[in-house]
Amino acid sequence: MTEFALKSASLDAVIQGGGLRPFFQPILDTRSGDIFGYEALIRGPVCTDLATPAALFQAAAEQDRLLELDWAARRACIQRFASLDLPGLLFINVMPQSLLDPTFQQGLTLHFLHEYGVSPHRVIIELTEQHPIHDYTLLGEAVAHYRRMGFRVALDDLGTGYSGLRHWSELKPDFVKIDRHFVQQIDHDAGKRRFMEWLQEVAADLDCQVIAEGVETQGEYDCLWARNWRLMQGFFFARPSAVPPRKLDCAAGSNRRHTSPPRGTVASLSRRCATVAAETPMAEVAQLLRCAEQPPRTIAVTEGTEPVGLIRTSRFLSRFANPYAHSLYGRRPARAFADPETRFVQEDTSLEDLSRQLTECNETIEEDFIIVDTAGRYAGTASAIDLLREITNLQLRNARHANPLTDLPGNVPIKEELARRLATERAFVVVHCDIDAFKAFNDYYGYAQGDQLIQALADTLRQQLHERDDFLGHIGGDDFLMILGPESWQAKCESVLARFAWLAPEHYDAHARGRGGIESIDRQQRRRFFPICSLSLAVLPVTAARYSQPHEISDTLAELKAQAKRQPGNSIFVERRTAAE
């Protein structure tokens, strides 16, 4: 029997005889520490020439049976996922070519899910490219077909293949998985860090979630974690397994709480540098520096999980240049060489506060400082130049996403601010501000006067931002969002309503003020009377115990806004259940 015949027989047995072995690799949600989902992977029978995925799919391609193998693998993965009763989402690899095949059977994946009791809302169709795609129209129709059935779509291995960015643009996936090439050694590669930050911005603009694949080291994890990467996958957390873990040990034993470090705080600057124990002899530290391909600028000296200070490499090497240095200092502990003036900064400190501190003490811009968590444990290092770069990036980012009418932060900065507040686990209050009968006013007086009323409201809201931690954003149109402290929100809201009740009539003509309103066309194209614009405030007290994601806050605010607008005149509607808690 020829080699081809042997492979053909083996492939028959695999596809038709149930010889496929599903494996699963977890995807970590770093904000909660929970498993977000699993990518399903397929293997052939153990100890055969088709055991590996590469050999299995190569054999199917040679025999023109890729579509047949694709369906069999899909069914096996769904069946195994259901039998293991795994939590989270299921990412199923699907070749785009199978969606374009003329023999493609619509609804078969849904049939498998119904057969094994898995909801399509838990399934992500992960498009894995092996050959170039030419017919985007047809592929788009196939993707739309899956979405109509309740599936979401992921694009795999962005950065490899034939046209990854075009796929992203054409197919508008719900998830994009970033190829491991851009993750490997990211903690040592500034170019990769900048590229990944750019991908985050693109994903935010396109309302798409990104997953970093191939995370294999603590340094790679820490670097991504410090840059707000929520979803990660790789050997650092767990290898593919036939019986995967249902929980992960918070990134392989790291002592830190695994929430995404918020932009706008010192945590976003954190990078892990080389560390040595406080009692390490200085001769060993010198050897460490001699063996390093690129000596680090600083070395953190730690005692357990707590930092003692920084050894500044340039000063250390100048001291050890003395021919008698090794005999004088070699046995002395590292703690003796830690800079006594090392600055310690808590990771939840705002960038503005740190900038103010460094300016007041004229800190040297190259000097590194140590970042600690709220328990005083070592979290990383940063420098004043890192701070300057991050503040500049934030200013540019906020300017790009600002509302052009009011120059207030728009939707992207609003979401980031909510995420930052949630990460601190401190209570705060969100206030959604909306003008009642604004459409009628805008239609009657025109857009120019409508813009003037919106700007007047923006100025009124700005006047209430007395505290340093207050925040004001412009969602769009006549909708604004304030974030206030839990003690001061009520007085500020009442002041806003009183001010708006005085200024709104000033934007009407004398006749309308005398009548108390105007006649205009409603959304049902009927002419009716609209009273002078009033303001509705929907108030949501937020605690970390009740909310964990910005979209949960947005969903609740939408409900509260509807309740607030049912009340006539200037009004406040408070979510009483959360307030009581």
DSSP code of 160? B
| Angle subtended at Cα 557 by Cα 553 and Cα 559, rounded to the nearest 5 degrees | 125
Burial 413-449 (b: 16+ CB within 10 A, else e): bbbbbbbbbbbeeebbbbbbbbbbbbbbbbebbeeee
Strands 368-372 and 344-346, by their bridges, are parallel
Q: Which two structure tokens, joined as six digits, stand for 189?
A: 């590669």
Break the chain down into helix, strand, coil percent, rounded to 5: 45, 20, 35
Q: What is the pLDDT of residues 454-473, one digit of tens each?
A: 999 999 999 998 877 899 99
> Tens of pLDDT along 74-108?
999 999 999 999 999 999 988 766 665 555 556 77
Q: Which of 53, 36, 75, 84 is nearest to 243 (CA)?
A: 84
Asked whether 305 and 378 are in contact (CB, 8 A), the reply is: yes
The pTM assigned to this predicted structure is 0.49
What share of the chain in percent tops pLDDT 90? 32
Contact 381, 310 (CB under 8 A): yes
Nearest to 265 by CA among 137, 158, 441, 416: 416
Mean residue pLDDT of the chain comes to 83
Q: In Å, what is the CA distance from 470 to each residue of 421, 427, 485, 492?
A: 11, 13, 7, 11
| pLDDT computed for residue 5 by the predictor | 40
- pLDDT tens by residue, the chain, 581 residues: 334 444 444 777 777 777 888 999 999 988 777 899 999 999 888 777 787 888 888 888 888 888 888 888 999 999 999 999 999 999 998 876 666 555 555 677 888 899 999 998 899 988 876 555 556 676 777 778 778 888 898 888 675 544 467 778 777 888 999 988 899 988 888 788 888 888 888 888 788 899 999 998 877 887 888 677 889 999 888 888 888 888 876 443 333 333 444 557 888 787 767 788 889 888 888 777 766 666 788 888 998 889 999 988 888 777 777 777 677 777 888 898 888 889 999 988 888 888 888 877 765 555 789 999 888 898 888 888 888 888 887 777 677 778 889 989 988 889 888 988 887 788 999 999 999 999 999 999 999 999 999 999 999 999 998 877 899 999 999 999 999 999 889 999 999 999 999 999 999 999 999 999 999 988 888 899 999 999 999 999 998 788 888 888 988 999 999 999 999 899 999 987 654 44
Query: Which residue stretches of 262-301 are H helix?
Result: 282-291
Distance CA 134, CA 29 (A): 35
Per DSSP, the residues of 217-265 read SHHHHHHHHTTT--EE-STTT---BSS--SS--HHHH-SS---PPPTTB
The answer to whether 217 touches 196, Cβ cutoff 8 Å, is no
Q: pLDDT tens digits for 171-217?
A: 788 899 998 889 998 888 878 888 888 888 888 878 889 999 999 88
Please report the domains of the chain, with CATH numbers, ordered by start residue: 3-256 (3.20.20.450), 269-391 (3.10.580.10), 401-580 (3.30.70.270)
Q: d(Cα 317, Cα 434) in Å, to the nearest integer?
A: 62
CA distance 398 to 407: 9
498 CB-contact burial (10 Å; exposed 0-12 / middle 13-18 / buried 19+): exposed
Largest CA distance in the chain: 99
Q: Which residues contact 275 (CB under 8 A, 6 or more apart)?
A: 299, 300, 301, 302, 378
As a whole number of angstroms, the distance between CA 73 and CA 336 comes to: 61
Residue type, 375: A
CA distance 401 to 145: 33
For 279, counting Cβ atoms within 10 Å of its Cβ (0-12 exposed, 13-18 middle, 19+ buried), the class is exposed
Burial class (CB in 10 A: 0-12, 13-18, 19+), 53: middle
What kind and span of H or E run contains 203? Answer: helix 190-205
